[in-house]
Structure 1
Amino acid sequence: MRTHAQAVVIGGGLIGCSILYHLAKFGWTDVVLLERSELTSGSTWHAAANIHGLHDSTNISRLQHYTMALYKELEAETGQGCGIFQPGSLYLAQTEAREHQLRLQEAKARRYKMNFYEVGRDEAERLHPLVDFDGIRCIMYEPEGGNVDPSGVTAAYAAGARQRGAEIHRFTPVTATEAQGDGSWIVRTPKGDIRTQWVVNAAGLWGREVAAMAGLQLPLIPTEHQYFVTETIPEIASMGRRLPSVADRDGEYYLRQEGLGLLIGAYERNMKFWAEEGTPLDFGHELFPDDLDRIEEN
């Protein structure tokens, strides 16, 4: 492992590997990523992994739109599949306020030449015949929406970064970060120390703990999120095509196809905090106990 690096990225999830890839792509090849366990052993592994290009923030819209186009470039560049499914996404409005929000996004899409537009109920029912659109006053469609395999995307970012000279060290937990008088940092690990000019905190569920090493208190608390995956649904199995995802922020749920069934999750009002005093260092691929009663209303 290098004893010096231009930058050290702490955290080997999708975001950490994306940052490493982009640093290397922009010429910072003397960079290192440190992961306490296996790549994706955190929130990346648990993600529902929906992709969409528009957001209320213009800058985030640009970032998401760029990322959606990047996945296919990554596959071609690295030979690593990203598990991309883009059957489209439907966005529903039940209230006047939500309709106004969606129409603002449609106008933004026209401004930035993004593909996002209104469809009528007949077209929406053709796109997704399993959804009941009663009470929906506005339906927007994004043809490039869908989902990816977060582990595949992470592996592609990692492969692209390595191809450009970046290093990735798994099972290398960071035990301390120490600021030096000249503005540099020493990042300490059981496998040796690295002196660097820049430390990037991409530790996700452990972001608080990494920040605390540098004397920073981040107001971050993980929350439990409940989503469930159905068994095979005959209507989907016989459809012969992949269904678009659906987001209904007024109904406070989302759904997308998973295999030949559905993945259904909730935008929960009464979030349940988890690990308030610190995220367990050995947490990774474990699942929380089922608590579907909490999202039954959704």
Structure 2
Amino acid sequence: MKTTTQVAVIGGGVVGCSVLYHLTKLGWSDVLLIERSDLTSGSTWHAAGGFHTLNGDTNMAALQGYTIKLYKELEDITGMSCGLHHVGGITLADNQDRFDMLLAEWAKHRYMGLETEIVGPEQIREIAPITNTDGIIGALYDPLDGHLDPSGTTHAYAKAARMGGADIITHTKVTATEQRADGSWDITTDKGCIHAEHVVNAAGLWAREVGAMAGLYFPLHPMEHQYIVTDDVPQIYERDQEHPHVMDPAGESYLRQEGRGLCIGFYEQACKPWAVDGTPWNFGHELLPDDFDKINDSIEFAYRRFPVLQSAGVKSVIHGPFTFAPDGNPLVGPVPGVRNYWAACGVMAGFSQGGGVGLMLAQWMIEGEPERNTMAMDVARFGDWISPGYTLPKVIENYQKRFSVSYPNEELPAARPLRTTPMYDIFDAMGAVWGAQYGLEVVNYFAQGDEPRFETPSFRRSNAFEATRREVWAVRNTVGINETHNFGKYKVTGDGARSW
């Protein structure tokens, strides 16, 4: 077994293999991936394998577009099949707010050069004929949407990395990580010790446990997720072409063709966190017991949206865990205050985001910074104030809102208030409407009289406009008082700090 390496990547799912490949692509060949079991163990192997570009953050959407286009490159490099099905997909809108959101996303896509399209009910029925469009205003169509083979894609990343000089060792469990004085790392495994200049935590379901070995807390939590594969459906297998994906946010479901039948999964409100006390080390290629009770409401809604499901038998049920961060975005980049320790975890949409995550992290490590603004997935966006008591309710909230309308300036209530300033009670009594920044309660504006103590989010002018107008006028013409607790503060130390 190799005992020294420039980079040790811990975790052999799709994200770890993507990081390994991109490191070699950018010129580092002395890199090693360590996997406790087989490649794809954990969440990767049981994933539904869907991919799409839709994301509320422009830079994340661009990285998802990069990821999707990368798969053909992987096939060309390795000669392996990723099992690509570029069938396109539509995201339905059943109300004006949701349609406004799709219009906003469409505008972003045009800016980024992504060729998406807004379509009406008649076009929806042509594109996805099994869809009942009653109550549907319109949809966003993306020709890049599709699905792939999770195992084949992960192994294609791995082969491409090996072709670039990387090493991969499987059935090797990491049991400890300890930093040397020079910033490098000793990684203890059940097969010996490995000395690495850099460590990348891409351990997926076990990212919390691997982080704890270095005294780090990663704000992640696994959630149970269930999807169903049906028996053969004549309206599917009698078609001349593969049926596209359909995302139905009102029903909290995604649907696609699987062989001669259908695959449908749900982000149900009655969701359940998994492994609250830690992920078992002996878990890997197992599934969780079927749990139809928590998705009964979702299934009933799906019967109305896709009537062909009413007569379709169930072929198989896939029920397994995957990890979320509190805001649903990945945790990527250098861990603050810990030299040469990097994160690549919490990537709940691995086949939409894994390629982009691998590229950004490799650029960060090799070139000193990524080419794009990565704030949405920077591990540093959560500080040392975060704890499991905050992470768990926020992860549950994010799972439940996976298909909700994503409004600008929306404030979400879970795990709040967490941190407050000495002025909190005073401002609250004055009618403060609160927001949260970096876990800290901050005043967005002050309500007066019978004005509501919350902002109703909107893609148009919200109920906060009048209060904001009033405050801007007051500050411009008289005077205002502002708190500084929520502003960034920097401490400069060392020789010459004062003169600097």
| TM-score tier after normalising by the smaller chain length | over 0.9
Structure 2 residue 8 is matched with structure 1 residue 8: yes
2:260 counterpart letter in structure 1:
L
State the alpha-carbon separation in 1 of the partners of residues 6 and 145 from structure 2: 36
Aligned residue number for residue 256 of structure 1? 256
Contact 2:270–2:295 (CA under 8 A) maintained in structure 1: no
Shift of 1:250: 2.2
Match runs of 1:161-240 below 5 Å? 161-240=161-240
SS in 1 for 2:151: helix
SS in 1 for 2:209: helix
State the alpha-carbon separation in 1 of the partners of residues 231 and 53 from structure 2: 29
State the alpha-carbon separation in 2 of the partners of residues 198 and 58 from structure 1: 30
Alpha-carbon displacement from aligned partner over 1:211-231 (angstroms, at most 9, x marks no partner): 000101223221111111101
SS in 2 for 1:178: strand
Aligned residue number for residue 84 of structure 1? 84
Structure 2 residue 68 is matched with structure 1 residue 75: no
Unaligned runs of 5+ in 2: 299-500
1:167 counterpart letter in structure 2:
D
Alpha-carbon displacement from aligned partner over 1:110-151 (angstroms, at most 9, x marks no partner): 111101111122221111111101111121100111111111
State the alpha-carbon separation in 2 of the partners of residues 80 and 144 from structure 1: 20
2:253 counterpart letter in structure 1:
Y
Structure 2 residue 22 is matched with structure 1 residue 22: yes
State the alpha-carbon separation in 2 of the partners of residues 137 and 292 from structure 1: 30
Higher relative contact order (CA 8 A, sep 6+): 1
Unaligned runs of 5+ in 1: none
Structure 2 residue 66 is matched with structure 1 residue 60: no
Contact 2:120–2:137 (CA under 8 A) maintained in structure 1: no
State the alpha-carbon separation in 1 of the partners of residues 9 and 149 from structure 2: 22
**What count of residue pairs does the alignment treat as equivalent?**
298
State the alpha-carbon separation in 2 of the partners of residues 96 and 8 from structure 1: 49
1:130 counterpart letter in structure 2:
I
SS in 2 for 1:65: helix
Contact 1:249–1:267 (CA under 8 A) maintained in structure 2: no
Alpha-carbon displacement from aligned partner over 1:139-180 (angstroms, at most 9, x marks no partner): 110011111111111000000000011000010110110011
Aligned residue number for residue 48 of structure 1? 48
Aligned residue number for residue 119 of structure 2? 119
SS in 2 for 1:19: helix
Aligned residue number for residue 135 of structure 2? 135
SS in 1 for 2:207: helix
Match runs of 1:281-296 below 5 Å? 281-296=281-296
Shift of 1:96: 2.1
Contact 1:54–1:65 (CA under 8 A) maintained in structure 2: no
Alpha-carbon displacement from aligned partner over 1:175-223 (angstroms, at most 9, x marks no partner): 1100111111011112221111211110101111000001012232211
State the alpha-carbon separation in 2 of the partners of residues 27 and 293 from structure 1: 50
State the alpha-carbon separation in 2 of the partners of residues 107 and 61 from structure 1: 12
Contact 2:248–2:254 (CA under 8 A) maintained in structure 1: yes
Bigger drift between 46-55 and 167-176 goes to 46-55
TM-score (norm 2): 0.59
State the alpha-carbon separation in 2 of the partners of residues 94 and 245 from structure 1: 17
SS in 2 for 1:222: strand
SS in 2 for 1:87: coil
Aligned residue number for residue 145 of structure 1? 145
Shift of 1:95: 2.1
State the alpha-carbon separation in 2 of the partners of residues 120 and 136 from structure 1: 8
State the alpha-carbon separation in 2 of the partners of residues 270 and 62 from structure 1: 32
State the alpha-carbon separation in 2 of the partners of residues 207 and 65 from structure 1: 26
Aligned residue number for residue 411 of structure 2? none
After superposition, the CA RMSD in angstroms is: 1.0
State the alpha-carbon separation in 2 of the partners of residues 230 and 285 from structure 1: 22
State the alpha-carbon separation in 2 of the partners of residues 293 and 48 from structure 1: 21
Contact 2:115–2:143 (CA under 8 A) maintained in structure 1: yes
SS in 2 for 1:66: helix
State the alpha-carbon separation in 1 of the partners of residues 177 and 272 from structure 2: 31
Contact 2:271–2:294 (CA under 8 A) maintained in structure 1: no
Identity level (%) = 52
Shift of 1:272: 0.2
Shift of 1:2: 1.9
State the alpha-carbon separation in 1 of the partners of residues 191 and 224 from structure 2: 33
SS in 2 for 1:104: helix
Contact 1:16–1:203 (CA under 8 A) maintained in structure 2: yes
State the alpha-carbon separation in 1 of the partners of residues 244 and 293 from structure 2: 27
Contact 1:91–1:246 (CA under 8 A) maintained in structure 2: yes
Q: Which of these two proteins has the greater Rg computed from alpha carbons?
A: 2
2:9 counterpart letter in structure 1:
V
1:67 counterpart letter in structure 2:
T
